Structure 1
Amino acid sequence: MDEYSAMALILGLASVTTTSDTIPAVLFGIPGTVGAIITVEDGYPPLAKRNLAARAFGAAYSASMLGGIFGAIVLLVSIPIMQPLMLMLKTPDFLVISLFGFLFVSV
Protein backbone atom coordinates (compact mmCIF):
# COMPACT_ATOMS: atom_id res chain seq x y z
CA MET A 1 0.00 0.00 0.00
CA ASP A 2 1.42 3.38 -0.90
CA GLU A 3 1.86 6.00 1.81
CA TYR A 4 -1.08 8.19 0.74
CA SER A 5 -3.53 5.29 0.80
CA ALA A 6 -2.21 4.15 4.18
CA MET A 7 -2.59 7.66 5.59
CA ALA A 8 -6.18 7.90 4.34
CA LEU A 9 -6.93 4.49 5.87
CA ILE A 10 -5.53 5.50 9.27
CA LEU A 11 -7.44 8.80 9.26
CA GLY A 12 -10.66 7.05 8.24
CA LEU A 13 -10.38 4.40 10.95
CA ALA A 14 -9.68 6.96 13.65
CA SER A 15 -12.57 9.21 12.67
CA VAL A 16 -15.15 6.44 12.35
CA THR A 17 -14.44 5.12 15.85
CA THR A 18 -14.98 8.45 17.59
CA THR A 19 -18.11 9.21 15.59
CA SER A 20 -19.91 5.87 15.75
CA ASP A 21 -19.64 5.41 19.52
CA THR A 22 -22.28 8.14 19.94
CA ILE A 23 -25.18 5.86 18.95
CA PRO A 24 -24.97 3.31 21.80
CA ALA A 25 -23.91 6.04 24.24
CA VAL A 26 -27.02 8.14 23.67
CA LEU A 27 -29.63 5.47 22.96
CA PHE A 28 -28.63 2.76 25.44
CA GLY A 29 -26.35 4.51 27.93
CA ILE A 30 -23.43 2.23 27.02
CA PRO A 31 -20.15 3.90 25.97
CA GLY A 32 -18.50 2.37 22.92
CA THR A 33 -15.09 3.87 23.73
CA VAL A 34 -13.52 5.76 26.60
CA GLY A 35 -14.34 9.09 24.97
CA ALA A 36 -18.07 8.31 24.99
CA ILE A 37 -18.37 8.15 28.78
CA ILE A 38 -19.21 11.84 28.96
CA THR A 39 -21.64 11.41 26.05
CA VAL A 40 -23.50 8.86 28.16
CA GLU A 41 -23.74 11.32 31.04
CA ASP A 42 -24.84 14.23 28.82
CA GLY A 43 -27.00 12.37 26.32
CA TYR A 44 -28.72 9.38 27.85
CA PRO A 45 -30.34 10.47 31.14
CA PRO A 46 -31.24 14.09 30.37
CA LEU A 47 -32.09 13.87 26.66
CA ALA A 48 -32.75 10.34 25.39
CA LYS A 49 -35.07 9.46 28.24
CA ARG A 50 -37.13 12.59 27.43
CA ASN A 51 -37.35 11.74 23.68
CA LEU A 52 -34.75 14.36 22.74
CA ALA A 53 -32.16 11.95 21.36
CA ALA A 54 -31.97 13.86 18.06
CA ARG A 55 -30.75 16.91 19.93
CA ALA A 56 -28.06 14.84 21.66
CA PHE A 57 -26.99 13.34 18.33
CA GLY A 58 -26.74 16.80 16.75
CA ALA A 59 -24.54 18.13 19.53
CA ALA A 60 -22.37 15.02 19.64
CA TYR A 61 -21.87 14.84 15.88
CA SER A 62 -21.05 18.55 15.65
CA ALA A 63 -18.44 18.22 18.37
CA SER A 64 -17.13 15.02 16.78
CA MET A 65 -16.78 16.72 13.40
CA LEU A 66 -14.88 19.68 14.81
CA GLY A 67 -12.65 17.45 16.92
CA GLY A 68 -12.07 15.07 14.02
CA ILE A 69 -11.01 17.83 11.66
CA PHE A 70 -8.68 19.32 14.27
CA GLY A 71 -7.22 15.87 15.08
CA ALA A 72 -6.68 15.06 11.41
CA ILE A 73 -4.83 18.32 10.87
CA VAL A 74 -2.63 17.70 13.92
CA LEU A 75 -1.95 14.13 12.75
CA LEU A 76 -1.05 15.25 9.24
CA VAL A 77 1.34 17.88 10.59
CA SER A 78 2.94 15.66 13.22
CA ILE A 79 3.65 12.57 11.10
CA PRO A 80 6.39 14.14 8.95
CA ILE A 81 7.95 15.63 12.10
CA MET A 82 7.82 12.37 14.08
CA GLN A 83 8.82 10.02 11.24
CA PRO A 84 12.62 10.34 11.71
CA LEU A 85 12.26 9.76 15.44
CA MET A 86 10.07 6.67 14.96
CA LEU A 87 12.49 5.20 12.42
CA MET A 88 15.36 5.80 14.83
CA LEU A 89 13.75 3.76 17.65
CA LYS A 90 14.49 0.06 17.97
CA THR A 91 12.77 -2.80 19.84
CA PRO A 92 14.26 -2.07 23.31
CA ASP A 93 13.10 1.53 23.02
CA PHE A 94 9.54 0.42 22.30
CA LEU A 95 9.72 -1.92 25.30
CA VAL A 96 10.70 0.97 27.58
CA ILE A 97 7.93 3.16 26.16
CA SER A 98 5.39 0.34 26.69
CA LEU A 99 6.55 -0.27 30.27
CA PHE A 100 6.34 3.47 30.94
CA GLY A 101 2.75 3.40 29.65
CA PHE A 102 1.90 0.44 31.92
CA LEU A 103 3.39 2.37 34.82
CA PHE A 104 1.07 5.31 34.12
CA VAL A 105 -1.95 3.02 33.86
CA SER A 106 -1.15 1.22 37.09
CA VAL A 107 -0.56 4.44 39.03
Structure 2
Amino acid sequence: MDIAGRLSWAEILDRRRRFIELLIVSNSDEQIRRCLEVARERSYEIKPGLCQRFIESWEADLERWREFLSWLPVTDNPEKFLHEVNLTDYVRFSEAYWRRSPG
Protein backbone atom coordinates (compact mmCIF):
# COMPACT_ATOMS: atom_id res chain seq x y z
CA MET A 1 0.00 0.00 0.00
CA ASP A 2 1.72 3.15 -1.18
CA ILE A 3 -0.38 5.88 0.38
CA ALA A 4 2.77 7.82 1.26
CA GLY A 5 3.46 8.21 -2.46
CA ARG A 6 0.27 10.22 -2.90
CA LEU A 7 -0.31 11.90 0.44
CA SER A 8 1.64 12.15 3.64
CA TRP A 9 0.17 10.59 6.76
CA ALA A 10 -0.08 14.09 8.23
CA GLU A 11 -2.26 15.17 5.29
CA ILE A 12 -4.42 12.06 5.60
CA LEU A 13 -4.92 12.63 9.33
CA ASP A 14 -5.71 16.31 8.71
CA ARG A 15 -8.34 15.38 6.11
CA ARG A 16 -9.86 12.91 8.55
CA ARG A 17 -10.10 15.58 11.25
CA ARG A 18 -11.65 18.07 8.83
CA PHE A 19 -14.19 15.44 7.78
CA ILE A 20 -15.09 14.80 11.43
CA GLU A 21 -15.46 18.58 11.94
CA LEU A 22 -17.80 18.75 8.96
CA LEU A 23 -19.90 15.96 10.41
CA ILE A 24 -20.03 17.68 13.80
CA VAL A 25 -21.28 21.00 12.45
CA SER A 26 -23.78 19.40 10.09
CA ASN A 27 -25.35 17.02 12.61
CA SER A 28 -28.22 18.04 14.85
CA ASP A 29 -28.35 14.86 16.94
CA GLU A 30 -26.64 15.71 20.26
CA GLN A 31 -25.56 12.14 21.01
CA ILE A 32 -23.96 11.76 17.58
CA ARG A 33 -22.26 15.15 17.95
CA ARG A 34 -20.76 14.09 21.30
CA CYS A 35 -19.47 10.86 19.76
CA LEU A 36 -17.92 12.78 16.89
CA GLU A 37 -16.31 15.26 19.28
CA VAL A 38 -14.74 12.37 21.17
CA ALA A 39 -13.55 10.90 17.86
CA ARG A 40 -12.02 14.27 16.95
CA GLU A 41 -10.17 14.51 20.26
CA ARG A 42 -8.93 10.92 19.99
CA SER A 43 -7.76 11.61 16.44
CA TYR A 44 -5.13 14.00 17.81
CA GLU A 45 -3.51 11.03 19.56
CA ILE A 46 -2.93 9.37 16.18
CA LYS A 47 0.43 10.45 14.79
CA PRO A 48 1.85 9.85 11.30
CA GLY A 49 4.50 7.47 12.64
CA LEU A 50 1.84 5.32 14.26
CA CYS A 51 0.04 5.00 10.92
CA GLN A 52 3.25 4.03 9.14
CA ARG A 53 4.13 1.42 11.79
CA PHE A 54 0.60 0.02 11.58
CA ILE A 55 0.87 -0.46 7.80
CA GLU A 56 4.32 -2.03 8.13
CA SER A 57 3.09 -4.41 10.83
CA TRP A 58 0.01 -5.25 8.78
CA GLU A 59 2.11 -6.05 5.71
CA ALA A 60 4.47 -8.21 7.79
CA ASP A 61 1.48 -10.02 9.29
CA LEU A 62 0.05 -10.67 5.82
CA GLU A 63 3.36 -12.18 4.77
CA ARG A 64 3.41 -14.44 7.85
CA TRP A 65 -0.13 -15.59 7.04
CA ARG A 66 0.84 -16.29 3.41
CA GLU A 67 3.76 -18.40 4.62
CA PHE A 68 1.55 -20.21 7.14
CA LEU A 69 -1.19 -20.90 4.60
CA SER A 70 1.27 -22.09 1.96
CA TRP A 71 2.01 -25.30 3.88
CA LEU A 72 -1.62 -26.14 4.66
CA PRO A 73 -3.09 -28.90 2.54
CA VAL A 74 -6.02 -28.03 0.33
CA THR A 75 -8.96 -30.40 0.56
CA ASP A 76 -12.73 -30.27 0.55
CA ASN A 77 -12.89 -32.95 3.25
CA PRO A 78 -12.61 -31.66 6.84
CA GLU A 79 -11.74 -35.10 8.22
CA LYS A 80 -8.91 -35.56 5.71
CA PHE A 81 -7.62 -32.06 6.47
CA LEU A 82 -7.50 -32.71 10.22
CA HIS A 83 -5.69 -35.97 9.62
CA GLU A 84 -3.11 -34.30 7.34
CA VAL A 85 -2.32 -31.61 9.93
CA ASN A 86 -2.33 -34.09 12.84
CA LEU A 87 -5.31 -32.56 14.64
CA THR A 88 -7.70 -35.51 14.66
CA ASP A 89 -7.09 -36.06 18.38
CA TYR A 90 -7.92 -32.42 19.19
CA VAL A 91 -11.03 -31.69 17.14
CA ARG A 92 -14.35 -33.42 17.44
CA PHE A 93 -17.13 -32.99 14.93
CA SER A 94 -20.61 -32.25 16.20
CA GLU A 95 -23.49 -34.68 15.88
CA ALA A 96 -24.95 -32.32 13.29
CA TYR A 97 -21.83 -32.78 11.16
CA TRP A 98 -22.17 -36.57 11.24
CA ARG A 99 -25.93 -36.41 10.49
CA ARG A 100 -25.55 -34.06 7.55
CA SER A 101 -26.54 -35.29 4.16
CA PRO A 102 -23.59 -35.87 1.80
CA GLY A 103 -23.10 -33.32 -0.87
Q: TM-score, normalised by structure 2?
A: 0.30
Bigger relative contact order (CA 8 A; separation at least 6): 2
